[in-house]
Amino acid sequence: MAGRGRQTFEKRQREKSRQERAAAKRARREERKEAKAEDDGSEDDTDDLLERFRILNERHEAGEIDEESFEAEKEELFEALGMQ
């Protein structure tokens, strides 16, 4: 039975190592994704998104779009701007 306990321990250690490697890989992938987003997030993109938000507000105030549509589009723009 002592051999079986050792096998179980080794299996748990392998699984723990696998999970740690996977977590490290996810972290590296997320860092690259964020770095790319920063590089791609030029002034022109930000200006364009802010202009779209201004137009969205004007359309909402003029009654051209309902509250639900306004909130949905606003949320998308805020996410694109990195505000959420």
pLDDT in tens, 9-51: 999 999 999 999 999 999 998 888 887 776 665 566 888 999 9
| pTM score of the predicted model | 0.48
pLDDT reported for residue 51: 93
Q: What is the DSSP letter of 82?
A: T
Annotated domain spans of the chain: 1-40, 42-84
pLDDT band per the 50, 70, 90 thresholds, residue 61? very high
pLDDT reported for residue 34: 81
Alpha-carbon span 2 to 42, nearest angstrom: 62
**84 or 13: whose pLDDT is higher?**
13
Alpha-carbon span 50 to 38, nearest angstrom: 17
